[in-house]
Structure 1
């Protein structure tokens, strides 16, 4: 397989001077700065461009561009070069080297990639055609935390919702005005009734009735139009806010440290989805409530003006309704919290059941899961019944208050009519206005009930938003253009949050460029955890991980992903096709994909399906065996062509032929300066590739040296431990392990408790 020719991005990154890349033209640079909304002085930029071309014409483009920007006064702009296949498409626009020219690459509204440069017609370009291209990417300094809302303080979820709803505040004025008009238009209805009873009926003035009826028709039409426009505005605002909120929460989830994520998938999924109810509450219901409640006071005042003492009847309902709402909210607080907890547990149980259906069926454990489901469902149903009882109590009591207010108003009205202070029409008008008082009060009680549910949802989202992201928002990240020549750890300790168990304790480890390291050790020794820490998936509890000259966690994740390739022990596939799962990280040229697929034997999978490379893959990779999934994961790493290779049991699920193909391709792909660290329980198949062996025992390095120094001693000690075991059953197991690994031409499996691995343990047992 041809690797890293002169035009290849990695070759460019390793030695720009040997690649005939032209300097970046002034026009493309100005266009890029304009697209990125970076302010610059055109005259100073043009002068700096001419000066750099004159004084540093032979320098690499990355150096030229950095010097150019510095001379033009743009010292806060960071520049780096990346392979196109490792670029996050959301980071566009950028400059791309294609067909011996620099092009401005940007994403169009239809999702297509557009390449443009001065003097030529812009053209659309498929992403897979740019697999072997490289990109110059510019980034400004991060803004101050003060203006950022992705990590708000106090109540993050509430502030995030309010920020999105108030992004464009013009809609608030329109909705408030429409609601004011709707409430004001309800007043003519009561006046209409009063005029009909007091003036039309006594005199049978049909002309007056006709005039009043026409006016009411106009009022009804205007009321309908205002309510329709108000609903349309709120729906549009809510839809836009919902899209932005869900996107921000989802991207926050993607940026979380993996060791910080909740262990319950059900709880995690519920936290992501809980923001919807919060958005609905603030985008529609509360707006009407805030505007309608002041009008309740206005209507009480109007009732007082028209009906005198009748106004006191409705005024007396306000404190009663408030007390009712507070009582209901206090009762609902515990019930809502407990119900959400049980709902999250049941959702997690459902996820586990779906993912482990085969194991449950094979183990005849369905009865236990069904029993757990029944227990959770009964608990949820119990809390739901209590919630509904409280809601029913609240609604029934509010309705009774409304009826009581109407009856009391009629009774008081009769006295006012008898005293000559109120007419019949006035009493009817008061009863109509009274309905406008009762409705906001009843809604206010429901708002308090609904707010308790929203409050619990906010707490769920807050627990997600307050989790630590992989990089701080205000952090100034490094973007080194020199590829790393070493991978090292210093005083490394790691434990999961809230766990007292320390999984790693490595004072010092240094892997230099060109080294091929076999990582050995017993099950649970910390090999997979160490690889995840080195890959930047887990953050050390203490100590540092250095990639080249910089701390791994101070480098932009875009740079880390371009330089570090990681193969997990359990490869995850996603719903889609075989092609989409192979090209998971970005665009991959068809030639590179077909070459890799053929070399690993994956073409046989495609050949066995009528759809070929478009064969469907369901969630979790169902339909492919464990070995096939592992080959897909290996293909991803091979096509990424990283500088640092971190492989966790790359051949654990493969047969002999497939294993041989994997090691053969790995040898062909590895460059002399690349770093390889591979964890395996079958080291003899990779011993010819290794230059160094590290043995990890209980999270600590117990042996580190050349293969000829470490391997013989491990074989002798493992064999001695197998033959010297006192328990017959233990001897049988270890002899079987020796026989199996001998048949595979591999090392004996590491005993779970090998007394001779650590010197201090050996002395204690002696």
Structure 2
């Protein structure tokens, strides 16, 4: 897998894990982090130096002196204050550069993560993508990537705070070695004491991630099934189930937020207690240098702020870690299932042959297709019928090379389908799905469907699919907007647009998967006329439950339990297929 390069240590430690993922999306990120660390250390040194200088001036003023002794050198208080002012300006500049560096690498990592996820998704096989739940990619591109960016920001904040603390330790070592020891002991003790709280935060965040996913799935189901829920009178029950999930999310969110809010406060209290203990120790020691004592106190107190930033960074990393892991898991699952792309040109499709083809879905106990052999000639119209679950849609996906057979072989003009050039194959094939889905834009946009087709091709396809019959009544014609998900059009109108979309590229093979299942009689008749006009010009495979849709077919294929039960003309099947006789009787034919 693509993520195997991540070490076990990286998987266990939040910072190491986030850094490993960052390397994947932003190869130069480590160098940027080095720059962030250098800027943080210098900014911390600048601040520590200012504290030492100001303390020295305050002590000098209190003692009525106009000079300050620094490192064995006596300087006037005015010069020391000017030096402090210069350091302040330097600190502001360093902080500005630091903020720009963190923002820049965060934005770049976020962009690259989304681009990598989109690239992997579109390069993955259809069989892999078809297993995703609704809106999973949208959730990954928004929530997961945003949380990953927040995790990196937390890592950068943690790094900056640690190096600022280090600069304070250096300053303290110069002022008084005892101070440096005290800072180190304080930091180590606090991290050790609060480590369990950080681990609990990560666990709570992981549970919250799973519960939010369940809640989002329930909400999506409520939208997609709103009509059915209303008709069956179970909208209240669905709402109650969603409310229970919502309550679980709220409880887990409370736990996560409580830990995130309380742990820093606990840290602050413990740190102040340790500072008080440290001061008690210092007061018990005879120290003649009052300025050193004052600098020690200021450095200790100011270090609490950076220590709190360290803890906050650790907490935020723990909270974001489950999202980062889920982002990588999803990306790896796409990368590990690439779409096969052949390179052989086959020209116009003259024949398609299935030789003992079988297909089984991942995790399924049986096979959707078994030992299926079939030859489809150029210009032939083949109908596919069979009960639900017979393997009709699977056959469509195998024919269009959306699924790779797990047994047997499909050939085109004698060439194995898996070796056929990918771009050429997509130019020569098209599909009309059972559920017509339109994109945001105009009718013409939906017929063109992101392809480089000229207006003449769009207009021709609109005529062939009889789209122009209803477009003529629209003020903007083919430029009329379809509305969200095609909401401004009827089901029959949307289906005709999908047929026009399929015909616009002049395909050799046209597959229609239940094209009239949800249409009224008038719309079905119009589409039937369109298909009749195409007969002989295009090789067609039509999957349908309604036998009325299949009257133009040259041959019919009967699928039952994934196998080819019978094949022949309608007249032949009347004598040899009990299933066909039964569905013919039910259809009144």
Tell me, yes or no, whether TM beats 0.5.
Answer: yes
Counterpart in 2 of 1:264?
Answer: 133
Query: After superposition, what is the alpha-carbon deviation per residue over 1:392-426, rounded to whole angstroms, capped at 9, x for unaligned?
Result: 3311221012211332232223223xx1x342221
- For the structure 1 residues 165 and 279, does the alpha-carbon distance in structure 2 shift closer, same or farther, using more than 3 Å as the test? farther
In structure 2, distance between residues paired with 1:356 and 1:608: 32
2:223 aligned with 1:354, yes or no? Answer: yes
In structure 1, distance between residues paired with 2:405 and 2:336: 12
Question: Is the 2:45–2:167 Cα contact (8 Å) retained in structure 1?
Answer: no
Per residue, is there more helix in 1 or in 2? 2
2:389 aligned with 1:524, yes or no? Answer: yes
Counterpart in 2 of 1:649?
Answer: 514
Question: Is the 1:409–1:431 Cα contact (8 Å) retained in structure 2?
Answer: no
User: Mean Cα displacement is larger for which, 340-349 or 484-493?
Assistant: 484-493
Residue from 245, 252, 277 that aligns with 1:408: 277
Counterpart in 2 of 1:615?
Answer: 480
2:162 aligned with 1:293, yes or no? Answer: yes
Aligned 1:361-372 pairs, distance under 5 A: 361-372=230-241
Deviation at 1:570, TM superposition (A): 1.4
Counterpart in 2 of 1:708?
Answer: 571
In structure 2, distance between residues paired with 1:705 and 1:458: 55
Query: After superposition, what is the alpha-carbon deviation per residue over 1:338-357, rounded to whole angstroms, capped at 9, x for unaligned?
Result: 21111011112222222333
2:188 aligned with 1:335, yes or no? Answer: no
Residue from 30, 41, 59 that aligns with 1:180: 41
Question: Is the 1:260–1:497 Cα contact (8 Å) retained in structure 2?
Answer: no
Deviation at 1:667, TM superposition (A): 4.5
- For the structure 1 residues 556 and 172, does the alpha-carbon distance in structure 2 shift closer, same or farther, using more than 3 Å as the test? farther
Deviation at 1:363, TM superposition (A): 2.9
Indicate the SS of the match to 1:483.
coil
Deviation at 1:639, TM superposition (A): 0.9
Counterpart in 2 of 1:677?
Answer: 541
Query: After superposition, what is the alpha-carbon deviation per residue over 1:226-251, rounded to whole angstroms, capped at 9, x for unaligned?
Result: 21122123323322332222122123
In structure 1, distance between residues paired with 2:311 and 2:34: 25
Counterpart in 2 of 1:444?
Answer: 310
What is the TM-score of this pair, normalised by structure 2?
0.87
Indicate the SS of the match to 2:371.
strand
Counterpart in 2 of 1:145?
Answer: none
Counterpart in 2 of 1:496?
Answer: 361
Indicate the SS of the match to 2:175.
helix
In structure 1, distance between residues paired with 2:199 and 2:276: 30
Indicate the SS of the match to 1:630.
helix
Residue from 220, 233, 257 that aligns with 2:101: 233
Question: Is the 2:360–2:367 Cα contact (8 Å) retained in structure 1?
Answer: yes
In structure 1, distance between residues paired with 2:358 and 2:20: 36
Question: Is the 2:102–2:156 Cα contact (8 Å) retained in structure 1?
Answer: no
Indicate the SS of the match to 2:564.
strand
Aligned 1:180-199 pairs, distance under 5 A: 180-199=41-60
- For the structure 1 residues 308 and 585, does the alpha-carbon distance in structure 2 shift closer, same or farther, using more than 3 Å as the test? closer
2:127 aligned with 1:249, yes or no? Answer: no
In structure 2, distance between residues paired with 1:267 and 1:690: 39
- For the structure 1 residues 546 and 439, does the alpha-carbon distance in structure 2 shift closer, same or farther, using more than 3 Å as the test? farther
Indicate the SS of the match to 2:63.
helix
In structure 1, distance between residues paired with 2:19 and 2:277: 42
Question: Is the 1:324–1:445 Cα contact (8 Å) retained in structure 2?
Answer: no
2:566 aligned with 1:696, yes or no? Answer: no
Counterpart in 2 of 1:275?
Answer: 145
In structure 2, distance between residues paired with 1:470 and 1:302: 51
Question: Is the 2:556–2:567 Cα contact (8 Å) retained in structure 1?
Answer: yes
- For the structure 1 residues 406 and 387, does the alpha-carbon distance in structure 2 shift closer, same or farther, using more than 3 Å as the test? same
Question: Is the 2:411–2:417 Cα contact (8 Å) retained in structure 1?
Answer: yes
Indicate the SS of the match to 1:316.
helix
Query: After superposition, what is the alpha-carbon deviation per residue over 1:287-327, rounded to whole angstroms, capped at 9, x for unaligned?
Result: 34235424534533543553454444333223322223421
Query: After superposition, what is the alpha-carbon deviation per residue over 1:425-461, rounded to whole angstroms, capped at 9, x for unaligned?
Result: 2111112222453334333322332222332112211
Deviation at 1:656, TM superposition (A): 4.7
Counterpart in 1 of 2:185?
Answer: 316
Query: Unpaired runs of 5+ in structure 2?
Result: 7-16, 68-74
Counterpart in 1 of 2:333?
Answer: 467
What is the TM-score of this pair, normalised by structure 1?
0.68
Counterpart in 1 of 2:291?
Answer: 425
Query: After superposition, what is the alpha-carbon deviation per residue over 1:356-388, rounded to whole angstroms, capped at 9, x for unaligned?
Result: 333333333221121112111110111112222
Query: After superposition, what is the alpha-carbon deviation per residue over 1:671-702, rounded to whole angstroms, capped at 9, x for unaligned?
Result: 65x53211123334543x43322111121110
Question: Is the 2:18–2:321 Cα contact (8 Å) retained in structure 1?
Answer: no
In structure 2, distance between residues paired with 1:490 and 1:469: 29
Counterpart in 1 of 2:429?
Answer: 564
Question: Is the 1:526–1:697 Cα contact (8 Å) retained in structure 2?
Answer: yes
Residue from 55, 58, 62 that aligns with 1:201: 62
Counterpart in 2 of 1:627?
Answer: 492
- Figure out how many residues of one structure are paired with residues of the other and give that number: 570
In structure 1, distance between residues paired with 2:62 and 2:19: 55
